[in-house]
Structure 1
Amino acid sequence: MTKAEFLAILEKNLDGTATEAEQKLLDDFYRHQLAQSQQKWTFTEKERIRLEVFESLNRAIDEDVRQQRRARFARIWRVAASIAVVLAVGLGLYLARFASKEIQYLTIITHRGEQKTVTLPDGSRIWLNAESSITYPEEFTALETRNVQLKGEAFFEVARDEAKPFAIRSGDLITTVLGTSFNIRDYPEDQTIAVTVATGKVKIETAGDQHQQTESQLLVPGEQGLYNKQSASIAKMQVKLEKYLAWQGGTILLEGVSLKEATDILSRRYDAEFVFKNPALETCTIDGKFRNDKLENILENIRFLMGIEYRIGEGNKVIIDGESCH
């Protein structure tokens, strides 16, 4: 008997439509040949369930019941249905356990003018800056590495777990730690990805493919790694931490940045649009420190420091004008 013939008769048997000759053929095959044939046949999950129902019936029903199967089919089918339910529930629980191992990911997004704090399943905390996103698994238990993906800027306080390194993918750069605190900035318009370390040690490396040689650097507190998106190279330098970490505490620190860079920062923080009527003003440099201040107050300070003029229009659109600083 072929597998197809066996399954066809098995289906008719369980449906109650098999003839006496087919029932006898199936019983004989089950008793004498099925075990040997099963070594060569491969069953689908549905076929295996039907076979288990049939085998359970044969174990549960004595010889007299089998001989009177047609006359008493209704009662036997209730038995078969009960067994099928038990098997289906068992299979469902098994599949549920298997499915639970599939990794589900969550994504947290901030818009312009918005910041959020996120606590990960391992207890790590992330301060997400404006216009950024972080993607992470619902749980890390089934993973060898705690992998997350960042777009934009975030400050991380990673819970230490030496058995499961924490890895952040930002563009073509991978940042790996065991437990430490650091900042990553990777906005689309930035020419570099900046990783600034506050505590512990951080490894950064390029995410090259099999045809590219990777480059890596080890960073310690007070150091910053800069990945150049154009050249795919990494540079390391000493930096003043406050300049790069102040935002996480609600402070806007502008030290020797151009007015264009300053307005880019302000546009994200306050969901504003800046327009320079005099483009020469964009390259003027500015220094200032502002903590949880209103946009109007910050613009007033810039006006006083640089002698510019500004006007806030509809939709939080800020027009910058004035004489060139050069």
Structure 2
Amino acid sequence: MKKEDGSYWEALERITRLFDRYDKYTLDEKSRESLEKWNPEDLPERIEVTDEILDRGCQRITDGVFPKLEPRKSEKVERERRILLAPLYKYAAVAAVLLITAFSVIYFGDIGKGSKKEPVANNEGSNNMIILSAEDGIRHATLPDGTSLSINKGSKVSYDEQAFNRKKREVWIEGEAYFDVARNPEKLFIIHNENLQTVVRGTSFNVKAYEELSEMSIAVRTGKVEVQENDRIIATLTPNRQLVYAKSDGSVRESTISWEDAGAWMDSRLVLQNAGIDEFLLRVRQLYDIEIILDNDVLRNERVVVSFEKNAGFAQVMDMVCLLYNVKYKKISPERVTIYR
């Protein structure tokens, strides 16, 4: 198989998973709304691809995408869902063609296990970015300087292939990752997430910077970490110290934490210390692939403090949360529940 064939298959799998999650009601509300409002007529008029590429893409859609959307005809509820999904079929076709087309020029690198090279730009406008993404589970990777990463589900880390490890080592993060940075006093290691920069020379720490959360945090395991806001130093962290940064007003708070709690996600444990409800919803989705809906914004202003051992079941977690916060929950579907009072 040629390398470009791998990119076609990757694109096909992505669009298939997207519509499969829509069909199973496991997409978050924001993604569902965006998908339903998307109009293929809004797409660019010209796409530079050959007829051969389009033909291959359309054939893969026929063979791979639409069978995933076919209902199980023996079940009445699936027939009804088919009617609701019918307007989206043409969108699936257009989206799949575009994804397969776009990915046809991607060259897949092999920097660390499962890494990808995609044509995206960072703040410096580079077109030589390596994207390390974790879609279906935690991913482990190694950067060219020997730095090791653990990337949480639904997160990605990127870096400029040509610039990295020359004068300095810069990466960009969306989501969450644990860094064990290879020591090099001559070359700073800088992690960018929104308007924060985490600067180190050789240490281990966790960065949490999910777009959907109102706070970002850096928790240190070993060494010393310098945190900057737009090049202004706002904190210097040492082991078992954590900084939490509020996106809304730029306020900062530092605290002493247990590293085992901060890195609980790497052991598939659910541990939250004074977390917002959105982080609880995120962690449940990462661990159990279940989306929680808050009825009438119940618990919206609560801070969550819970701790569960590895392999704790979803029912165990929900029963405890309901007991602690005086709420109830019920299943809407196997992949979706609602919390209510």
Shorter-chain TM-score: which interval?
Answer: 0.5 to 0.7
Letter in 2 for 1:144: K
Alignment-derived partner of residue 128 in structure 2: 104
1:170 and 2:193 correspond: yes
Task: Give me the whole-angstrom Cα distance separating, in 1, the residues matched to 2:159 and 2:332.
Answer: 39
Task: Give me the whole-angstrom Cα distance separating, in 1, the residues matched to 2:246 and 2:278.
Answer: 20
Alignment-derived partner of residue 229 in structure 1: 247
Indicate conservation of the 8 Å contact 1:260/1:283, yes or no: no
Letter in 2 for 1:254: L
1:250 and 2:268 correspond: yes
Alignment-derived partner of residue 181 in structure 2: 158
Which structure would you say has the larger Rg? 1
Q: 1:190 to 1:241 in 2, by over 3 A?
A: same
Report how far residue 266 of structure 1 moved: 0.8
Q: 1:105 to 1:141 in 2, by over 3 A?
A: closer
Letter in 2 for 1:181: S
How does the TM-score come out when normalised to structure 1? 0.58
Alignment-derived partner of residue 82 in structure 1: none
Secondary structure of the 1:290 match is: coil
1:295 and 2:314 correspond: yes
Structure 1 range deviating more: 256-265 or 158-167: 256-265
Report how far residue 311 of structure 1 moved: 2.5
Q: 1:264 to 1:197 in 2, by over 3 A?
A: same
Report how far residue 155 of structure 1 moved: 0.9
Q: Work out the percentage of aligned pairs sharing the same amino acid.
A: 27
Report how far residue 289 of structure 1 moved: 1.3
Task: Give me the whole-angstrom Cα distance separating, in 1, the residues matched to 2:209 and 2:277.
Answer: 20
Alignment-derived partner of residue 19 in structure 2: none
Alignment-derived partner of residue 331 in structure 2: 312
Secondary structure of the 2:265 match is: helix
Structure 1 range deviating more: 192-201 or 140-149: 140-149
Aligned length: 215
Report how far residue 269 of structure 1 moved: 3.0
Structure 1: state its 5+ residue gaps. 1-101, 209-213
Matches within 5 A, 1:73-92: none
Q: 1:281 to 1:155 in 2, by over 3 A?
A: same
**Deviations 1:175-209 (CA, angstroms, capped at 9, x unpaired):** 1111110011111133332111110011111125x
Secondary structure of the 1:221 match is: coil
Secondary structure of the 1:313 match is: strand
Secondary structure of the 2:309 match is: strand
Q: 1:294 to 1:119 in 2, by over 3 A?
A: farther
Indicate conservation of the 8 Å contact 1:251/1:290, yes or no: yes
Task: Give me the whole-angstrom Cα distance separating, in 2, the residues matched to 1:307 and 1:192.
Answer: 25
Alignment-derived partner of residue 149 in structure 1: 172
* RMSD (CA atoms): 2.8
Indicate conservation of the 8 Å contact 1:258/1:286, yes or no: no
Alignment-derived partner of residue 28 in structure 2: none
Report how far residue 234 of structure 1 moved: 4.3
Task: Give me the whole-angstrom Cα distance separating, in 2, the residues matched to 1:143 and 1:244.
Answer: 31
Report how far residue 283 of structure 1 moved: 4.3
Task: Give me the whole-angstrom Cα distance separating, in 1, the residues matched to 2:264 and 2:340.
Answer: 28
Q: Which has the higher contact order (CA 8 A, sep 6+)?
A: 2
Alignment-derived partner of residue 280 in structure 2: 262
Equivalent position to 1:219, from 237, 254, 270: 237
Structure 2: state its 5+ residue gaps. 1-125
Letter in 2 for 1:109: S
Q: 1:282 to 1:290 in 2, by over 3 A?
A: farther
Matches within 5 A, 1:191-202: 191-202=214-225
Report how far residue 168 of structure 1 moved: 0.6
Matches within 5 A, 1:42-121: 104-111=128-135, 114-121=137-144
